[in-house]
Amino acid sequence: MEGVATSNRDDIGVSKPPRETASLDCQEAFQQIAKRCVRLIRRNRKPAIAGDAEAIHAMRIELTRLRAAVLFFAPMTNDVAASSIDKKLHWLNAALGTARDHDVTMSYARRKRYRSWAKGSRRSLLRSQGRSHRRLARKLDSARYSRLMVELNHWISNGSWLRDAQSPSYERIDDYSEGRLREWRKEIRRDGQHLRTLRPKPLHRFRIRCKRFRYIVAALQALKVPLARKELMFCEVARKAHGALGDLRDLKRLRKAGHGRPPGYRMRKRNLLREAGRPFRRSQAGRIHPKPAGGMG
């Protein structure tokens, strides 16, 4: 079985040597980010079809990074084909997400803390995990998936968005990212300060915004785009909130998959919500220190 791809070789056409970051414009930055995501999605496809949980996870992360990049550069990439592309990416994301969710639930059920509680549900959890892997394998091996990859590659390299004279295609990436990150940061901070009052759907959207912020910061860092200290500091805030809310989502899913509440459910739920909101309170006092915005789950 193939391992999870980590190679830097670009499988999408013939790539040019990367230009210096100082001279990168938005078009080139987006294409470099998007092509890398697509390359890693494609390279993890075969092990994901074989049921490799890490490959499924890697595909989902790269797909989320790609969708975050499309949204981040939306003033430039929002052409006629963008809506169609996003719907097709949503189809793939749903398939990967379902399989990944079952993998995570099964992983929780094996933990010492939940092992006895989940004993009666283990067989049904394994069957559900197997079904989700088989459904995903059929989709990754389908003509629909192949068409999506061809269409996506064409859109990234030759889409009509490249010919829109009104878009910020030729704006320097460091100038563009400064303003765009500021917009995203303000939206996240606004809701983060009222986290405990958010209903489930707004809370879910908030978690996704935190994840996108992290992924974009990591992508810009990979391109060596200079980022302000405040963006790196806020990336750590988003990382902590995203992690705690992701754990909370997994815990709720475990409860639905089993029989009744898992051990310590109420306290753990309350602590995770508190943990998710704490970075926003701390950031006001300037006590968060930046860390590398690397690997994310």
| pLDDT tens-digit map of 82-121 | 889 999 999 999 999 999 999 999 999 999 999 999 998 9
pLDDT band for position 20 (cuts 50, 70, 90): low
Claim to verify: residue 188 and residue 152 sit in the same structural domain: no
Shared domain for 92 and 109, answered yes or no, is yes
CA–CA dist 121, 111 (Å, integer): 14
Q: With contact defined as beta carbons under 8 Å apart, do 224 and 20 qualify?
A: no
Mean pLDDT lowest among 26-30, 78-82, 156-160, 237-241: 78-82
Whether residue 9 is contained in a domain is answered as no
Band of the pLDDT at 45, cuts 50, 70, 90? very high
Of the CA atoms within 13 Å of residue 242, those in its CB half-sphere come to 18
CA separation for the pair 59, 97 (Å, rounded): 10
Please indicate, yes or no, whether residues 42 and 157 belong to a single structural domain of this protein: yes
Same domain, yes or no: 32 and 104: yes
Q: What is the pLDDT of residues 127-158, one digit of tens each?
A: 999 999 999 999 999 999 999 999 999 999 99
- Residue 188 CA to residue 8 CA, distance in Å, equals 32
With respect to residue 134, please indicate whether it lies within any of the assigned structural domains.
yes
**What confidence score (pLDDT) does residue 54 get?**
97
Residue ending a domain, choose from 122, 144, 171: 171
Based on the domain organization, do 89 and 166 belong to the same domain? Answer: yes
The sign of the torsion formed by the CA atoms of 211, 217, 16, 160 equals positive
Q: pTM surpassing 0.75?
A: yes
pLDDT, position 259 = 76
Same domain, 212 and 268: yes
Q: What is the pLDDT of residue 15?
A: 41
Same domain, 84 and 109: yes
Question: Domain check: are 181 and 160 in the same one?
Answer: no
Q: Between 202 and 21, whose confidence is greater?
A: 202
**Whether pLDDT at 3 is above 90:** no
Range of the domain at 228: 172-286
**What's the mean pLDDT in 271-281?**
91
Is 17 part of any domain? no
Comparing 100 with 280, the larger pLDDT belongs to: 100
Q: What is the pLDDT of residues 69-84, one digit of tens each?
A: 999 999 999 888 888 9
